[in-house]
Chains A and B, each alone.
Chain A
Amino acid sequence: MADNQILIRVCLGTSGKAADGEKVISLFRMHIQRHGLDGSVQKRCVVKKVGCRGLCSRDLLVDVIIDGRQTTYQNVTPSMVERIVQEHLLRGNPIDEWAVKEDYAEFTSRQYKIVLGPCGVIDPENIDDYLKMNGYRALKKALTTMTPEEVIKEVKRSKLRGRGGSGFLTGKKWEICRSQPDKTRYIICNVGEVNRALAEGNPHAIIEGLIIGGYAIGASQGYIFIRERYHLSVERLKKAIKQARERGFLGENLFGTSFNFDITFSFGTEAFICGEETALMECIEGKRAMPRLRPPYPAEKGLWGKPTIINNAETLSNIPIIIGKGSEWFSTIGTEHSKGTKVFTLSGKIKNNGLVEVAMGTSLRTIVFGIGGGIEGNRKLKAIQVGGPSGGLIPYSMIDMGLDYENLQKMGSIIGSGGMVVFDETDCIVSVAKFFMEFLQRESCGKCVPCRLGTTRMLELLTKITEGRATMKDIEALERLSAIMSTSSLCGLGRTAPNPVITSLTHFRDEYLAHIRDKHCPAGVCRALITYTIIEDLCKGCGVCLRKCPAKAITGERKKPHVIDQSLCIKCGICFQSCKFKAIIKE
């Protein structure tokens, strides 16, 4: 960045937009113009929109950089802009009370950002910003100095594994595809939930990775499969593709070689099953997204029957880095069998909700308590669910485990989509498992019996437990069903669907038993198993609960202790919430 410049960076990812980011940007521009700031401080003012920088729970985040000195403001609202302009920009005094505190450094310093590196720094809608960060240089290197085989070899050497699903070696997959006799091949980039921030923050990296992948396997047509609902990602990717085409990174005879490549969009609709490779291809072909029998694998016979590679956006974003910096550098990051980094969306009952990237092998403790800042309200951590709905529930006792493919598999979990949801002591594990099963049951495509019926029966059993109608035999049934589903389902969805149930039965069996034997929900979540009672000594007889009770289950004279008729109580909890004297207890 030039010395004689004031740079203002405003986050305009999905979260930044939701926090009035656009208004803040236009206010900055307006104030700068109104004050004739460029002239009065003899510096050029640049206001830039950037992608997600991670700590979304403090949005809107705004950086002000003057002569290389950076101040980051958190929770910025439109009404704060004028004071920042007046005091910081005009007089050069940063406003300390609005700036991020030490915990922000804690959030960033333990991360290892390579894929997310440019997110939050560059303007995702401006190709020149990406070019300044060595963008498309890896593509040039691959096309002009390497053969496709050499590219594959380099990716193989980096030991990069698919950042989703089963974690197959990317280079190996490419090699299988390249060796097919059929010369028409396709490469598809799947933009899933967690990839969304990448598409919003640094879309060109995805495109560059996709082109290099196309070159390596010998495909001239790439697809970006993305849900229609991810409006901002779609918009930024579309702009990026247009810019890349204008600069000659897409089209015919790229870099003077005989290699042609172009990208088209395929808009998926809401369906979890589309995360499965073969179902995704069915969807692109315009059919019901039901998985195909394998083998043949997509790398042999995929889209329209042609050899096809499907990589997700995070995997592909790693490619320019590997080609640019070399596989040797890349493989210094991570653990023996899991190289590089992984992006997670950290959410749930955690202080610092956000998007994080850590080196493979980083412990859950570092992520939750270091980067995440610990549990909301300083309550106790109960479990962490890694890998989306069909990931496993990891208990607090295993928090020192390093996150990589092997450990997660041992734990009965998957890296999956890269979702990470934190549960605390106020969450009931059985209802959490039930929630995930509800989702999976709804999303099961219905093609194979173990998954279609298995998820339905499991949901029934879990519902029975949360309603206090279950017996010990139901636990056996859950375990039996889990074993059948994980071995005989047609695709990954069915095979991983029992994960939350298996892992919670292993690590939180006591909680299941409490529901079944004692008809008690320890976390006080399952409605059928809780009772509300009024403590006589504390009740002042104010009558608030009596008036608010929708079931008319509360009786009592004014200024005398009230009583709840348990046979009428519907356990809505309104009385519990409305009592000012804390005279109602929930058990």
Chain B
Amino acid sequence: MEKELNRILSKHQETGGNIISILQDIQETFGYIPEDAVNWFSERLNIPAAKFYGVATFYSHFRLKPRGKNTITICCGAACHIKGSKELLEHVREILSIKEDEDTTEDLKFTIQEATCIGACNIAPVVLINNSVYGNMEKDKLSKLIKGFVDEDEFIGY
């Protein structure tokens, strides 16, 4: 961990430490923001850990808990909402057995999250799996898509 943190630190040293950029880099490296990483940066940059915490909890994008290997993002913007994004979300929770107050499967294979608008309203409802966008989504289509990941660990198509 130390090695990676040093790499991030060297990248930000000259700019004086933009908290959002540091958190983004931490999250990209570890998949979430570990408390230890924040304390480590807090000491070296002389910025109170509370400041990091304040920023990390302000933006829904930052996670304080480990993330699953694959992330399923369901867009819940207006256009997707009226085309049934809520049903899709409930459906994904059901097939992956993720409880109401949680967002990650126990085996850390999947994390689900809601997005506000991802700007692809014209193909609503939209689901992102990792970085790929899938439009005009339906429950059955989504089940097949997710199954592709469950079986092969990596998506091989549907």
**Cα–Cα distance between A539 and B60 once the two chains are bound (Å):** 49
Contacts of B54 in A (CB 8 A): 288
Instruction: Report the Cα distance A14→B126, complex, angstroms.
Output: 11
Q: Quick check: is B64 within 8 A (CB to CB) of the other chain?
A: no
A347: interface (CB < 8 Å): yes
* Interface membership of A253, Cβ < 8 A: no
Whether B79 and A421, one on each chain, are in contact in the complex, defined by CB atoms closer than 8 angstroms, is: yes
Q: Which of B34-78 contact A (CB under 8 A)?
A: 54-55, 58-62, 73, 77-78
Query: Is the pair A229, B115 in contact by a Cβ cutoff of 8 Å?
Result: yes
B13 at the interface (CB under 8 A from A): no
Most buried by A among B17, B54, B81, B121: B121
Assess the A353–B124 pair: CB atoms within 8 A.
yes
B-side interface size class: 35 or more
Complex-state Cα separation, A272 to B20, whole angstroms: 16
Q: How far is the CA of A497 from the CA of B63 in the complex (A)?
A: 27
Q: How far is the CA of A230 from the CA of B18 in the complex (A)?
A: 21
Q: Decide if the interface of chain A is mainly helix, strand, loop or mixed.
A: mixed
Best-buried of A269, A354, A435, A445 by chain B (most CB within 10 Å): A269
Interface status of B108 (Cβ within 8 A of chain A): no
Which residue on chain A has the smallest CB distance to residue B120? A14
Contacts of B83 in A (CB 8 A): 348
Interface pair A228/B119, CB less than 8 Å apart: no
Chain A residues in 8 Å Cβ range of B24: 228, 267, 269
- The answer to the question of B98 belonging to the interface, with a C-beta cut-off of 8 Å to chain A, is no
- Known contacts A231-B131, A345-B122; decide if A436 and B62 are in contact (CB<8 Å): no
**A259-289 to B contact mask, C-beta < 8 Å, 1/0:** 0000000010111100000000001011111
CB of B120 within 8 A of CB of A269, answer no
Q: Does B82 contact A (CB under 8 A)?
A: yes
A165 to B77 alpha-carbon distance, docked (Å): 19
A residues 190-204 with Cβ under 8 Å of B? Answer: 192-194, 196-197
Least CB distance from B103 to A in Å reads 15
Bound complex: CA of A194 vs CA of B17, how far in Å?
Answer: 31
Q: Give the distance in Å from the alpha carbon of A529 to the alpha carbon of B128 in the complex.
A: 34
Say whether B79 contacts A286, CB under 8 Å: no
A270 and B60 in contact, given A423-B82, A436-B78 (Cβ under 8 angstroms): yes
Report the Cα distance A346→B122, complex, angstroms: 6
Among A15-23, A102-110, A175-183, A505-513, the stretch that binds chain B is: A15-23
Q: How far is the CA of A141 from the CA of B18 in the complex (A)?
A: 37
Shortest Cβ gap from A423 to chain B (Å): 7
Contacts of A59 in B (CB 8 A): 123, 135
What per-residue 1/0 map shows which CB atoms of B110-140 lie under 8 Å from chain A?
0000011111111110101001111110000
Pair A193/B122 contact, Cβ less than 8 Å: no
Contacts of B17 in A (CB 8 A): 286
1/0 per position for A540-582, CB-CB distance to B under 8 A?
0000000000000000000000000000000000000000000
Number of interface residues of A (CB under 8 A): 49
CA distance A271 to B122 in the complex (A): 21
User: A385 contacts B116, CB within 8 Å?
Assistant: no
In the complex, which of the residues B58, B119, B134, B136 contacts A193, with contact meaning CB atoms closer than 8 Å?
B119
A286 touches B19 (CB 8 A): yes
A396 to chain B, nearest CB (A): 17
- Among A15, A17, A423, max chain B CB count under 10 A is at A15
Bound complex: CA of A385 vs CA of B55, how far in Å? 32
- A residues within 8 A CB of B59? 269-271, 289
Residues of the A chain whose Cβ atoms lie less than 8 Å from the Cβ of B29: none
**Given A286-B18, A349-B82, A419-B79 in contact, is the A15-B135 Cβ separation under 8 Å?**
yes
Q: A residues 210-242 with Cβ under 8 Å of B? A: 228-231
Q: Which residues of A contact B20 (CB under 8 A)?
A: 267, 269, 283, 286-287
Interface residues of A in 311-348 (CB under 8 A from B): 345-348
With a 10 A CB-CB cut-off, give which of B19, B79, B118, B119 has the most chain A CB atoms: B119
Are A419 and B121 closer than 8 Å at their CB atoms? yes
Any B CB within 8 A of the CB of A427: yes
In the assembled complex, the CB of B97 is this many whole angstroms from the nearest CB of chain A, namely 16
- Docked-complex contact B82 and A18, CB < 8 angstroms: no
Q: Does B21 contact A (CB under 8 A)?
A: yes
Q: What distance in Å separates the Cβ of B58 from its nearest Cβ neighbour in chain A?
A: 4
A356 CB to nearest chain B CB (Å):
9
Is the Cβ of B135 less than 8 Å from the Cβ of A427?
Answer: no
Contact call B133/A14, Cβ cutoff below 8 A = yes
Minimal beta-carbon separation of A183 from chain B (angstroms): 22
Do the beta carbons of B58 and A228 come within 8 Å of each other? Answer: no
Within 8 A of A (CB), among B70-107: 73, 77-79, 81-83
Contacts of B131 in A (CB 8 A): 231
Residues of B within 8 A of A231 (CB): 131
Q: Is A394 an interface residue (CB 8 A)?
A: no
Q: Write the chain B residue with the least CB distance to A436.
A: B78
Beyond the given A57-B136, A288-B55, please list 18 additional residue pairs across the A-B interface where CB-CB is below 8 A.
Answer: A18-B123, A18-B126, A19-B135, A57-B123, A59-B123, A229-B73, A229-B128, A231-B131, A271-B60, A272-B116, A286-B18, A286-B19, A286-B20, A287-B19, A289-B58, A345-B122, A347-B79, A421-B79
Sample of 9 A–B contacts (CB below 8 Å)? A15-B135, A17-B133, A18-B120, A193-B117, A230-B118, A270-B61, A353-B122, A354-B122, A435-B78
| Residues of A near any B CB (own CB < 8 A) | 14-15, 17-19, 56-57, 59, 192-194, 196-197, 228-231, 267, 269-272, 283, 285-289, 345-349, 353-355, 385, 388-389, 419, 421, 423, 427, 432, 435-436, 439, 443, 445
Chain B contact residues, CB within 8 Å of chain A: 17-21, 24, 54-55, 58-62, 73, 77-79, 81-83, 115-124, 126, 128, 131-136
